[in-house]
Structure 1
């Protein structure tokens, strides 16, 4: 670097260096670029796409913008509730709002939270699925009612006289909606609602069935590596009724569950309102940081095939999809991130 202002500037620089003050100046500059010295905690949800996104955004904000970032464990209901009432976590990078539609809308109106953008720009899928090879052999099985009438075809290994529906893991919002729909269809006499225990266990059950070309009825959502790898058919359930769905997913609703398709759930980048107020540069970054179904599925297939965790999957995305994420940030920010990840 050439100092045009001569010896005074050089002397000041030497003084700072000798006093060990440069790191403090760098930290102040980072805080100024980030917009806040407050920790930006990002919710790492328990499903793979949201977990990978949390690490992607954390790396970009920390390395590119100099933000103080912390990744915290999260899930739809507790994360949104905490964000609405306490302003933390600061960001939920993939928040599915169908199960929290009313409180989320009220919080946006009250100004405690905001939607910065769509996390999945072309929408999500959610519902009950069976393998394509089952439909090839039984082309009539395209509706939930048709499949429910064939528990023998989807027999529970532990109770073959009944069929088995693989549900959501405990604690997930979709566990409530799937249980309600199971009850609304009156399936309890001829079917068992099976809880896999975890997302990994559900994936393993699905993969095992597809590998063996066995019939399986399961709840799932997209974009995911499972639906990217295994050809599956989403069953027709009927029209989506938001009021019925809201009651089905509300533990305090006194009405009996009714049949409704899963509404198309916006997967948004949600944030506490203080992010835009204190760090508008960060909010602007998230306003551009959406991905398509195909992009997220590709991201997840890598993680699955390479047995990579969320952090490793995120690093691979940053290294191999520079054409995608560099569009979200200024050139100087991209250079810092690239230098940090090697």
Structure 2
């Protein structure tokens, strides 16, 4: 190499930059790309879909945008309370706001929190389900009333003279709502309601029926691995009546149970407002990350079938569903994430 005037000094300077300063400059570039040097703490909620989403977003923000990211334990009420009062965690990637409706609405009005997008774009699901193959054999079974009229198709293994409705484990809110509907439909003369001892027992009952291709009537919710794995059909329960549903889920309500469909609870990407102010690139990212109920249920199937934790489930999604998540980010960010995954 021919050095021009001052070339030796320039070469030394280049060597110095290469050896020491470039990592610093790279870190500064990453911070600028992320938009903040503050740690972005993401709440990992206690249910599988929200836990997996926390790890998906943490990987993309860390590897793709160079953000300083931390995953912290969370749950709906404590996470929302901390976000509203202390601005941390920065993001809750699947926050069900129905149980914190008033406080959350006030936080948005006061400017302490923001909703960046719908985490589940078509809303959460609750209701009564039957297998798709059962409905294919009996096309008229589209409503709760039609199924209730055919207890003979869903016999109770312990009392074949009646049908069986699989409810929720004792103590769960859905046990109250399902029992209330059972009463409102006057099902007790021709049906039994069965409450399994645990969520795992309910899942096992559903899995056994589908594996054997047997009819089953059951309560369930989504997004979940069960609805992702087994082709179930949700029954029409009519219109949603919020006041009736509130009474059906309140053990102290003295009014007679009524018929109502389950409301679809909003599940949003909630964030402390400083994210919008200090890291608009991150806020823009989270404005695009919504998934459908079916997409989330599908990603959970991997975790269920492989007994994988949230981190492994997230990694599988990033590896196998690049066509989905790459639409959330610029191409160069997607390339960085894929490179980090090897």
TM-score interval (norm. to shorter):
0.7 to 0.9
- What TM-score does the superposition give when structure 2 sets the normalisation length? 0.78
Q: Residues 254 and 36 from structure 1, CA distance in 2 versus in 1: closer, same or farther, beyond 3 angstroms?
A: farther
Q: Residues 165 and 340 from structure 1, CA distance in 2 versus in 1: closer, same or farther, beyond 3 angstroms?
A: same
Unaligned residue ranges in structure 1 (runs of 5+): none
Tell me how far apart the structure 1 counterparts of residues 264 and 148 of structure 2 sit (CA, whole Å): 23
Write the mapping of 1:1-342 to structure 2, written as runs, cut at 5 A: 11-12=12-13, 14-15=15-16, 23=23, 25-135=25-135, 141-148=141-148, 154=154, 164-168=164-168, 174=174, 177-178=177-178, 181=181, 191-198=192-199, 200-249=200-249, 258-342=258-342
Higher mean alpha-carbon deviation, 264-273 vs 253-262, is at 253-262
Q: Residues 293 and 165 from structure 1, CA distance in 2 versus in 1: closer, same or farther, beyond 3 angstroms?
A: same
Tell me how far apart the structure 2 counterparts of residues 261 and 340 of structure 1 sit (CA, whole Å): 45
Contact in 2 for aligned 1:97/1:267 (Cα 8 Å): yes
Tell me how far apart the structure 2 counterparts of residues 139 and 322 of structure 1 sit (CA, whole Å): 37
Deviation at 1:92, TM superposition (A): 2.1
Contact in 1 for aligned 2:169/2:195 (Cα 8 Å): no
**What root-mean-square deviation, in Å, do the aligned CA atoms of Structure 1 and Structure 2 show?**
3.8
Contact in 2 for aligned 1:63/1:337 (Cα 8 Å): yes
Structure (1 or 2) with the larger CA radius of gyration: 2
For residue 237 of structure 1, give the secondary structure of its aligned residue in structure 2: coil
Deviation at 1:180, TM superposition (A): 5.2
- What TM-score does the superposition give when structure 1 sets the normalisation length? 0.78
Tell me how far apart the structure 1 counterparts of residues 41 and 162 of structure 2 sit (CA, whole Å): 45
Unaligned residue ranges in structure 2 (runs of 5+): none
For residue 317 of structure 2, give the secondary structure of its aligned residue in structure 1: helix
Question: In the TM superposition, what whole-angstrom CA distance separates every residue of 1:200-221 from its partner, at most 9, and x where no partner exists?
Answer: 5433321112112333332223
Tell me how far apart the structure 1 counterparts of residues 17 and 83 of structure 2 sit (CA, whole Å): 41
Contact in 2 for aligned 1:143/1:237 (Cα 8 Å): yes
For residue 339 of structure 1, give the secondary structure of its aligned residue in structure 2: helix
For residue 233 of structure 2, give the secondary structure of its aligned residue in structure 1: strand
Deviation at 1:57, TM superposition (A): 0.8
For residue 89 of structure 1, give the secondary structure of its aligned residue in structure 2: coil
Deviation at 1:161, TM superposition (A): 8.1
Tell me how far apart the structure 2 counterparts of residues 214 and 14 of structure 1 sit (CA, whole Å): 72
Deviation at 1:7, TM superposition (A): 6.0
Contact in 1 for aligned 2:182/2:193 (Cα 8 Å): no
